[in-house]
Amino acid sequence: MNPVKVVSGLLYPRDTPGLMTWAKERLSDLFGVIERVGGPFDFDFTDYYRDISPNLARYFFSFRGLEYPSGLVRWKRLAVGIEAESAQGGGRRVNIDPGYLDGARLVLASTKDNAHRIYLSDGIYAELTLRRVKSGWERFSYTFPDFRSGTYDGFLDLVRLDWRRDIRGIREIQGGRRS
């Protein structure tokens, strides 16, 4: 199993940029140095997160280095903890969607079951959100509308290039071509 790039989406109320900064710092504390930032993107694809705010924005972050995908459950549990910290006595103020990207796919973690999600452990499911084909990112019938729109494809392409660079470096080291 090849290691992957850890990525995370962050939904936050557009009118509270300090909350975004706080969540970004917490994500960096947990997952390491942020390598790429995508956004802010307008998020008006669904009313599902209206409990957070009617005026949402989304950022994406990728993190330096590679990790093994077996960490997905832990990453989602940590993200749920950050969401709980954001509540400050009320409902959560942010939504965090960690996952991973490699050369072939974007996988996101969820606490919600559905027919297209695979149970991992500890109440966490994995979802193959997008698949990479030669022509670009391929969507599925269940792909979230914001991912289906192609809005994030440019960011995902850059993170995929980062993954390719990092995986090539690992293979060169394993092959003994570096001292």
DSSP-derived secondary structure letter, 2: -
Task: Extract the tokens encoding 93.
Answer: 């103020």
pTM over 0.85? The answer is yes
The one-letter amino acid code at 133 reads: V
In 21-165, the DSSP E strands lie at: 34-43, 56-63, 95-101, 105-110, 118-121, 124-133, 136-138
pLDDT of residue 176: 61
pLDDT of residue 169: 86
pLDDT tens figures, 62-111: 999 999 999 999 999 999 999 999 987 778 899 999 999 999 999 999 99
Low-confidence ranges of the chain (pLDDT < 70): 176-179
Query: How many CB atoms sit inside 10 A of residue 32's CB?
Result: 13
Residues 6+ apart with CB under 8 A from 54: none
Distance CA 177, CA 140 (A): 40
> Measured in whole angstroms, how far is the alpha carbon of residue 145 from the centre of its chain?
15
pLDDT of residue 179: 43
DSSP-derived secondary structure letter, 11: E
Scanning the structure block, which residue is given the tokens 């990525």?
Answer: 7
Task: Extract the tokens encoding 68.
Answer: 């093994």
Sorted by where each starts, the structural domains of the chain and their CATH numbers stand as: 5-174 (3.30.70)
Would you call 6 helix, strand, or coil by DSSP?
strand
pLDDT tens figures, 80-90: 999 999 987 77
pLDDT of residue 67: 97
Among 119, 136, 54, 129, CA closest to 98 = 129
Strand partners, 157: none
Strand partners, 40: none
